[in-house]
Amino acid sequence: MSMPACDRPGCTGVIDQTGFCDRCGRRPPREARSPSSPRIGARGRGRGSWVSGDLLSPPVLDLPAPESQVGRTLLRVDRQVCGECGRPAGRGYRGQPALTEGYCEHCGARFSFSLKLREGDLVDGRYEVVGPLSRGGMGWVYLARARRLNDIHVVLKGLINTEDRTARRFADNERLALISLDHPNIVRILDFVSHPDPVSGNPTEYIVMEYVGGPTLSELKTGSAWPGHGPLTVDLAITYVLEILAALDYLHGEGLLHCDVKPANAIRTANRVKVIDLGAVREIGDRHSAVVGTRDYQVPAEEISEHGLTVGSDLYTVGRTLEVLVQVAEEVRGQRSGSGAIAVGLDSLRQVIKRATAPIEHRFTSAAEMSTQLKGVLREIVGLRGRTVRPVSSTVFEDPVVLLDAGLGSVPPLSRWTGVPLATTAPVNQPPAPAAVVAGLPAPRVHPADPAADLLARTGAASPSSLIRVLAEGRDDPSAVVASVEVPLVDCRAHAAVADLPGASARLAEAERLLGAGGAHDWRLAWHRGLVALAAGDTGAAEAHFVEVYQALPGEQVPKLVLGLCREILGRAEAAEHCYRAVWAGDPAQVSAAFGLARIRLGRGDRAGAVAILGSVPTTSRHSAAARIAAVRVLCGRISPADGADPVLPTAAHFAEAGRRLAALGLDEDPEVRLRASAHEVALDQIRAGGQVLPDGVLFAAVPATPPRRGLRARVRRRWPARVRATSPASPTSPSGTAGTAGTADRAPVAPLTERRVRELLEELYGRLAEQAHNPDDHGVLIDRANAVRPTTWW
């Protein structure tokens, strides 16, 4: 697919996969911003408005008086360099003290590293100097009082070396950049003033900025104590970097790059993080200004030489900042990959860092995109720590609708008895079939800028077969379909869902052709390759493709969900569990992950653990009823151990609990009969295997110690059609009649269940199932089942 042309007058470049012109470096117009990558939350300047929202609210810090910070940091003489040639200047040698004034021994340029302002100096007749606070990369920073503004504290920032023409140019850049910026995560400029240099008498310019109190992230990184803050945790590190990304998103939207993000250039104020030191700010696309940055945080020189400084290079500095903070946080918390409650969340976090610091073609394309993924990881980690997080719709994938539960969350259909041999009772912890996964996974959202976005929006709810037909009919429209990448991708999913592998592969190949070279870094192709492989039954290949998607979108839950399903199908229960835990912790709407965790626990023989997981599904979820049904089936079903041992049957206690839960479900008569029938089959298997004799509880109808003899009427009624049977009165000992069951239990002594009694109950249930048959063949099959299970009698 051809790249869109740059709209800047006179430019012949194109907008490449980074989202910027490959020639001038300009971004497209703001209206081209995709709704899937919105501006990072616009917030006011009030207290407590963190980008992380309600996921994590760092404590409000009590900051010390500004005067107490004066003189804490001075210029280290072992770092003095000449402003002209960049080589050491004025440093001490063989016991001789360092010089703060003089001439460079290498190029002869004059240098001056001395303080230019002293306590009590009045700058521009308005700002009274209190003393030096620290030094930035290009200038001394002084604390002052604004005499005309009620003596509020402000900051004056000047030059370290007034003879440094490069530093002066960067000061001018900072002034121009700051004068129009207004964002809660960026230090605000208040004024520009000048004051005579105490040595040369020449005027020195100063930027007047708001005073931003608090520790830098570099100070927090080194473990410096700060009252009320505590140790730097992974959660806090992510929260602080989200604030930095909000500032960068704003700067990039204004056509500017920061170029020098690092922990030392971000201050943790009382209630947020502010980015400071904008001396390296430049316009996007500027390939002429000198490159300024910090070696340990800047992109490699080869990238700068080929691409210049870009949005991608800014994101690289954020990735390095995050990496440094997380490394320290892990040491503080003693967290390492493979251990601890949040280990799986740390893996996702490392994927964010890995992509942010990857080669430019693999990097995030915007601060908003990186922020979205990082916030998803924070949700995951917060959830893994045991806190409840609210469901939030993904900007990348559709909301989950289909429950991938392999039927566990629904009452068995009548076909369970009309189409399966009597001796077969499937374990309740079987994973979903690959075909069901392909058809039921949440789909990627259609890119709003795609030419066919409107067409696809109108066909969103169509079945796969209907969708294939609609897209085939619309393929002749060159204005909407021919140039669309989303149409073949949607068509590919539809063909895969109906197991048309040649059709799915052909449509995927078409999408690859349209994307061209840009497809090498497009996660959508990896996603659809995974779907096609899964539909073909090659789960191992599918997993490899979905790993690519996870690496590109580490904050999304759907890629982790499908990885968990693939690994469960492949028999790697522990790896699947890691994925399911991350998904369920990060998004309570992904109930398929809860069912996955329940199946993993069942594979270990932990019925109680499985029931507990199912019980954690919120009552407000659309799948709440399915989770309650699944809990009953888990308690009274057979399970297949993960180690391949013989199936495990429920105990008497499990059946009793299942009965109590069944009574609370409030099912209609027909589904309740089917659920009871499946439980009775397992009970019969247990007794025949020599297991415990089951007590007669709610699940099994209580009967007198000596059952009544069955007469001709009962045998004849089994052969009546459903419409006639429906008018017959229910038996007082019917296993489906809740009131009858309770009344009988209160009035009659309860006898332990024997194989004969279970057979009698199951015979009656099969007869009741026959009433639900929709055709004579199914009716006959169910009557045959009833006759086959009936205990031997003399009549």
Active site positions, annotated: 260
DSSP assignment of 494-548 equals HHHHTT-HHHHHHHHHHHHHHHGGGGGG-HHHHHHHHHHHHHTT-HHHHHHHHHH
| Cα separation values, 139 from 75, 506, 648, Å | 10, 61, 73
Q: How far apart (Å, rounded) are the C-alpha atoms in residues 310 and 746?
A: 79
The torsion of the CA quartet 152, 153, 159, 161, rounded to 10 degrees, works out to 130
- The DSSP code for 430 is P
Secondary structure (3-state) at 140: strand
Element holding 156 (H helix, E strand): strand 152-157
Which tokens in the block code for residue 119?
């306590």
Q: How far apart (Å, rounded) are the C-alpha atoms in residues 317 and 323?
A: 10
Q: How far apart (Å, rounded) are the C-alpha atoms in residues 613 and 595?
A: 8
Q: Measured in whole angstroms, how far is the alpha carbon of residue 249 from the centre of its chain?
A: 20
Q: Which residues contact 117 (CB under 8 A, 6 or more apart)?
A: 123, 129, 132, 140, 142, 156, 158, 195
CA angle, residues 38, 41, 43, in degrees to nearest 5: 150
Of the candidates 146, 299, 324, which has an alpha carbon nearest to the alpha carbon of residue 232?
324
Q: How far apart (Å, rounded) are the C-alpha atoms in residues 261 and 277?
A: 9
Q: What are the two backbone dihedrals, phi and then psi, of residue 135, each rounded to the nearest 5 degrees?
A: -125, 140
Ramachandran region, residue 476 (left: φ > 0; alpha: ψ -120 to 50; beta: rest): alpha
Q: Measured in whole angstroms, how far is the alpha carbon of residue 561 from the centre of its chain?
A: 11
- The DSSP code for 110 is E
Number of alpha carbons in the 13 Å side-chain half-sphere of residue 298: 18
DSSP assignment of 729-741 equals PPPTT-TT-HHHH
Q: Describe the crossing of helices 343-356 and 234-253 by its angle, rounded to 10 degrees.
A: 30
Which tokens in the block code for residue 529?
């390759």
Q: How far apart (Å, rounded) are the C-alpha atoms in residues 160 and 167?
A: 8
Q: How far apart (Å, rounded) are the C-alpha atoms in residues 399 and 422?
A: 39
Asked whether the beta carbons of 565 and 373 are under 8 A apart, the reply is: no
Q: Which residues contact 640 (CB under 8 A, 6 or more apart)?
A: 427, 429, 430, 603, 647, 648
